[in-house]
Amino acid sequence: MIERLFHLKESGTNVRVETVAGITTFMTLSYIIFVQPAVLGAAGMDPGAVMVATCLASAFAMVLMAFLANYPIALAPAMGHNFYFSYIVVLTMGYSWQIALGAVLIAGIVFILLSSVGLRETLMNVLPDSLKNGIPVGIGLLIALVGLEWGGCGGESPSHICYAR
């Protein structure tokens, strides 16, 4: 039944390989189940609700990807966006998490609309490669900065780079 549903032989794979790949992918991505509530909890969201929402949304997205696209890829919230949401929009700019979440909803709707008419791809093709490469680097640096601060490095005292808490 699984072979007929997902055309495994046609893709050069089998149930065993896909099962091992699925378990490996889950183990690789499972950190998000715990990091996501900590990051969004810093913005004032309920960590338990965030954990449940993360698990349900990720599972739903992966089921859609499997049955609508027959594409074996794991989907989960992007940590860079979550750090930006919590530490920049909510904690630095001062917006409530409810207002920020409303903005995320509007941005998602706009993204879907732009994608459905082909404008998103046109915009991506217009951007210079340096900007396309620089955005993920900037997000990675933001995540690294927050991680270093959580780890006790880069605190309030300029005379100490890292300090024990």
Question: Which pLDDT belongs to residue 47?
Answer: 96
Looking at this protein, which amino acid is placed at residue 148?
L
Residue 21 backbone dihedrals phi, psi, to 5 degrees: -65, -40
pTM score, whole prediction: 0.71
All structural domains of the chain with their residue ranges: 1-76
Q: What is the mean pLDDT of the chain?
A: 86
Contacts of 57 (CB under 8 A, 6+ apart): 77
Looking at this protein, which amino acid is placed at residue 88?
I
Number of C-beta neighbours around residue 42 at 10 A: 18
Question: Which pLDDT belongs to residue 38?
Answer: 92
What span, in angstroms and rounded, lies between the C-alpha atoms of 126 and 135? 15
The mean pLDDT values, 10 residues at a time, for the chain of 165 residues are 80 85 88 91 96 93 87 83 91 96 94 90 90 88 81 62 53
